Amino acid sequence: MCGRFTLTTTPEEVARHFGLDQTPLLSPRFTVAPGQPIATIAQALDGTRPVLALRLWGLIPAWAKDPKIGSRMINARVETVAEKPSFRGAFRKRRCLVPADGFYEWAVRAGGAKQPFHIALPGRRCFAIAGLWESWRDPEGASIESCTLLTTSANPKLRAVHDRMPVILDPADYATWLDPRPTDQATLTRLARGAPAEGLELQAVGRRVNDPRFDDAACLEPASGPG
């Protein structure tokens, strides 16, 4: 799964990387947790450009009676996303990019202790996690836009830490992933496999990140003991 990630990249670099018309108002995030509003990028309504918007992390299907269901929908598995009723509509028409520059996973150690790791590209470069978004309305007509992150099997390097990882898209595929027009199933399936992620670097970090109330640079400090 992917239950935490980071976005400390400058707003200017986020705008450049994703081809945004405007520099977004984003603060550095050292531990982004489910249930929080997160930066997502989707196609503008006129289909001409990518636009950044905050959406709640935890997808609420349009048919849901209770928005609390979103707490169980933070990830969508690529193996089943096209068939699951909660995700298949968004997979066909409402795909988004989730800017990040790293994510956390926890390795289970002897005795059951969990060691957090921060996983990133060299230089903590910005990248896009494949996401889906949805709009939900309550009986009074108020709406909530929410999202989920796609996950896939971990590559061999990450498997020692966790068996799943987020789908990291190739920048060359951003436009196709965002295109709301009908896209053939074979293309969507190919894109959902993500880009090769062999260059990812793992760093054991302290357990401060275990508490989502902490969101500061100390979350990224290397662990004091063995990872």
| pLDDT tens-digit map of 101-121 | 999 999 988 778 899 999 999
Catalytic-labelled residue, pool 12, 96, 105, 140: 105
Flag whether pLDDT at 83 surpasses 90.
yes
Flag whether pLDDT at 180 surpasses 90.
no
Q: What is the pLDDT of residue 94?
A: 95
CA nearest to 178, candidates 53, 28, 62:
53
Flag whether pLDDT at 183 surpasses 90.
no
Flag whether pLDDT at 174 surpasses 70.
yes
User: Other CB atoms closer than 10 Å to residue 6's CB: what's the count?
Assistant: 23
Instruction: Give percent of the chain with pLDDT exceeding 90.
Output: 78
Helical segments of the chain, H only = 11-18, 88-93, 174-178, 185-192
Q: What is the pLDDT of residue 10?
A: 97
Tokens of 150: 């796609």
How far CA 93 is from CA of 8, 165, 176, in Å, comes to: 29, 23, 12
The fold for domain 5-220 equals: hypothetical protein yedk fold (3.90.1680)
| Annotation marks residue 12 as catalytic | no
Q: What is the pLDDT of residue 60?
A: 97
Dihedral sign, Cα of residue 126, residue 69, residue 189, residue 78: positive
For the chain, what is the mean pLDDT?
92
| Annotation marks residue 105 as catalytic | yes
Distance in angstroms (rounded) separating the CA atoms of residues 227 and 224? 8
Find all residues with CB under 8 Å of 41, minimum gap 6, and list them.
Answer: 18, 20, 50, 51, 52, 53, 96, 97, 98, 99, 128, 178
Q: What is the pLDDT of residue 226?
A: 56
How far CA 124 is from CA of 103, 173, 203, in Å, comes to: 10, 20, 12
How far CA 185 is from CA of 135, 156, 172, in Å, comes to: 23, 27, 18
133 φ, ψ (degrees, to nearest 5):
-130, 160
